[in-house]
Chain A
Amino acid sequence: MDAAHNDRIRLALSRAIGTYRKNRNNALEKFPHTIKMAEEVREMKVKAIGMMEELAQQACEAIESNKGKAYIARTADDALKIIDDLVGKDKLIVKAKSMTSEEIGVREHLEEQGNEVFETDLGEFIIQKLGQKPMHILSPSIHVPKEDVAELFSKITGEDIPSDDIEMMVATARKLLREKFFEADVGMSGANVVAADTGTLFLIENEGNIRLATGAPPVHIALVGMEKLVPTLNDAYKVSEVTWRYANYTVPSYVSMISGPSKTGDIEKVITYGAHGPKEFHVIFLDDGRTKLADDPILRQILYCLRCGACLYECPVFALTAGHFGDKYFAGVGAVWAATISQDKEKAASIAYTCLTCGRCKEKCPVEIDTPEMIVELRRQMAADELLS
């Protein structure tokens, strides 16, 4: 598929960009304190990234004391091994959308092990069924026009779904997935931010699929990048608010805060686990190059990223190519991730030299990530063969 030659995709993207800008401006006007809060969050992230190791240890202790299980995985393989041991084979898994799980290929891996995996975020579900890669971190199917969705869902259900009936498409996805949440052996998610002091994961969403995926199955496994850790619950709340606001929402429909397995003490005050929610709660903190990256004075900025997606809407190249300009993560910031987590120099170079270094992304980044500076540094490290390894 060739994004830059496809006028429809570009049209879909330009509409999305227009809507995004309007919504974001509206959200920031309505809640003007967000801008000041974003400055606070930046300072908080600068500090937190320098102490990821301690924060991860602290969060693990908190989660264990909440009767969950916590792990630190140094590499992608370590994380997959932990997941394998927990999941096993021939299981049904429902997944919330997670960039970190995309990063290490959790779905593909679980399928190879003989499990059945359902992506439950609508966009991610569409992408999974189309056999494609996500093209945006928040809206993975941003490049798929409604006509293609109608065709896909008609094929799956055997029903005739009109290409202008988006409501029917949404209802179809709901019908296809509803039972899966309750039949699933395992629910998997990521987290937008984690409070180290209480071990609480914050999950921001609008669809409600994350509530179901993390609430209905008997086991919940969360895979979280170590950079998502902040010291306190209050810090985590601030990060969440800034994230959704710059992701163009005044407020999202749902924010789940999960700190441990489901429990009840209603019968004779005897604490018993696995009431209505999962009996088991596992959190895997993923390093995968992050602690090393934190030592690089310039490239460490990538770890401040809240994944709000603001930069993608500002990138002129992304507007033409969507996720083709990127690897697991997209646009300028994607180059740094490719060099760090994918360790793929050619891939990183091709993204790094595709960045215009125009710097508009920086202007709209809530945590002021200087992408041109990172890109030039990455090019320097590549040319001098000093790239992290």
Chain B
Amino acid sequence: MDNKDLIPPGLTFLADNITSKQNILGASTEEGAKWAKWLNLPKEAETIFFAGCGYQYATDLESLMSLIRKIDKSAISTEMTMNLAGFQKKLGVDATGIYRRLMNRGSDDAQSLKDAVNVLHSLGVEFGYLADDEPCCGGLLHYIGLHQEFNRNARQVHDGIKSKGVKRVISIVPSCTDTLRHLIPESIEGDGLEIKHFCEVVLENISSRELRFPRKVKVTYHDPCQLARFLGLIEEPRQILRAIDGIELVEPEETTGVCATCCGGGGGFEAVFPELSQMLAVNRVRELLETGADIIVTHCPGCIMQLKTGVKELKRNDVEVLDLVQILATAMGV
């Protein structure tokens, strides 16, 4: 017997999308792969680029969250939100409807992914892209506790990618990368594929390149939880930033590296507690802006969304939130 009614509906909705449609928002996979249409990436290759859900659906997720937050504000108090019955009722009705309506729109905006491909190509790294055959890593299934579903998905992901003759994966979303590198091999109890994170590949190939940001800027870097604490990639993004002419890297006191504060978008939290999640984003942006930075750089689609919300709430129009990929693309002129 199982007890899935203890899982908040906002999360079961995302989980159902993964198992039925192979992406968290339930869009068609053709829709998700649209961003790469003009890039002519081969579908078969020993090394592939793994795009993941986060960046592909970035625009949708942003408008979705801003809609949900409008509802949550007028809804109920924190104390009630902390009560399971309260949020079940709330999200069971509203969120699912909104998710569905939004998902019918689709999206072709995934600039960060295009930037990532251009950056890698410019560094001479060759790879393919599975496009509509790219599976969802299923990490969310693990995090919300649906381990049977996760294990099933893990086997499919592993076998699916391997059957296409793939040996190496360059992954960019922190959560997908950790899932591919750690959770899937653990689940299938076998050797996974060689999984590299985008910033590791960049760092390996960038030494001879001249990198220049078009203007002098103060940049602070927000460590995504999974990138810093799960994957241990703390120095890599910083080395890249420091190598760029025109960028001065400034760090918040205490809350950096392994001690960085979560942006409030972890583990599907934003789908369950939209308003609380927004407050966390604001808190984190406050910490980061104490450095006096003009640009907040991070390296995760979830963090980008959260930090943008925080900056907007604080009415700091003078501050930009950018992905490391965007900074790199600008600094390389690609």
Contact = CB atoms under 8 A, between A and B. Distances in A.
B84 interface: yes
B147 A320 contact: no
A2 B267 contact: no
Interface in A342-356: 345-347, 349-351, 353-356
A350 B83 contact: yes
Contacts of A321: 78, 82, 276
Interface stretch (A70-78, A174-182, A381-389): A381-389
Nearest to B225: A358
Contacts of B77: 2, 4-5
A316 B262 contact: yes
B291 interface: no
Interface in B278-307: 279-280, 283-284
Contact of B79 (A324, A363, A364): A324
Given A320-B279, A324-B78, A353-B11, A360 B3 contact: no
A53 B260 CA distance: 40
A29 B264 CA distance: 31
Contacts of A21: 254
B259 interface: yes
Contacts of B269: 354, 356
B266 A379 contact: no
A347 to B, nearest CB: 8
B167 interface: no
Interface string A32-57: 00000000000000000000000000
Interface string B145-187: 1111000000000000000000000000000000000000000
A384 B3 contact: yes
B121 interface: no
A2 B145 contact: no
Contact of A349 (B6, B146, B267): B6
B127 interface: no
Given A346-B85, A356-B267, A379-B144, A316 B2 contact: no
A2 B261 CA distance: 23
Contacts of B37: none
Contacts of A364: 259
B88 to A, nearest CB: 10
B221 interface: no
A360 B260 contact: yes
A362 B225 CA distance: 12
Interface in A318-332: 319-321, 324-325
B4 interface: yes
A124 to B, nearest CB: 22
Contact of B147 (A325, A355, A380): A380
A122 B223 CA distance: 39
Interface in B104-148: 142-148
B244 interface: no
Contact of B280 (A320, A359, A378, A381): A320
A135 B84 CA distance: 20
Given A363-B259, A383-B3, A385-B3, A358 B142 contact: no
A1 interface: yes
Contacts of A382: 3, 6-7, 145
Given A1-B79, A2-B77, A383-B3, A376 B145 contact: yes
A2 B79 contact: yes
A387 B327 CA distance: 47
Given A316-B262, A320-B283, A384-B147, A4 B276 contact: yes
B233 interface: no
B2 to A, nearest CB: 5
B77 to A, nearest CB: 4
Interface string A356-371: 1111101110000000
A383 B145 contact: yes
A324 B283 contact: no
A359 B230 contact: yes
A360 B280 contact: no
Contact of B262 (A2, A351, A358): A358
A87 interface: no
A133 to B, nearest CB: 12
A152 interface: no
B272 interface: yes
B273 interface: yes
B258 interface: yes
Contacts of A384: 2-3, 145, 147-148
Nearest to A378: B145
Contact of B266 (A324, A346, A356): A356
Given A319-B283, A356-B266, A379-B144, A346 B6 contact: yes
A138 interface: no
Contacts of A345: 3, 6
Contacts of B279: 4, 320
B32 interface: no
Nearest to A314: B259
B85 A317 contact: no
B84 A349 contact: yes
B1 interface: yes
Contacts of A298: none
Nearest to A21: B254
A3 B77 CA distance: 9
A4 B280 CA distance: 10
Contact of B267 (A5, A351, A357, A381): A357
6 contacts: A321-B82, A349-B6, A356-B264, A358-B262, A358-B267, A380-B146
Interface of A: 1-5, 21, 314, 316-317, 319-321, 324-325, 345-347, 349-351, 353-360, 362-364, 376, 378-385
Interface of B: 1-4, 6-8, 11, 77-79, 82-85, 87, 142-148, 225, 229-230, 254, 258-262, 264, 266-267, 269, 272-273, 275-276, 279-280, 283-284
Query: What 3 pairs across the A-B complex have the smallest Cβ distances?
Result: A379-B145, A358-B262, A356-B266
Given A362-B229, A380-B146, 11 more contacts: A3-B78, A320-B279, A324-B78, A325-B82, A356-B262, A356-B264, A358-B267, A360-B225, A363-B229, A363-B259, A383-B147
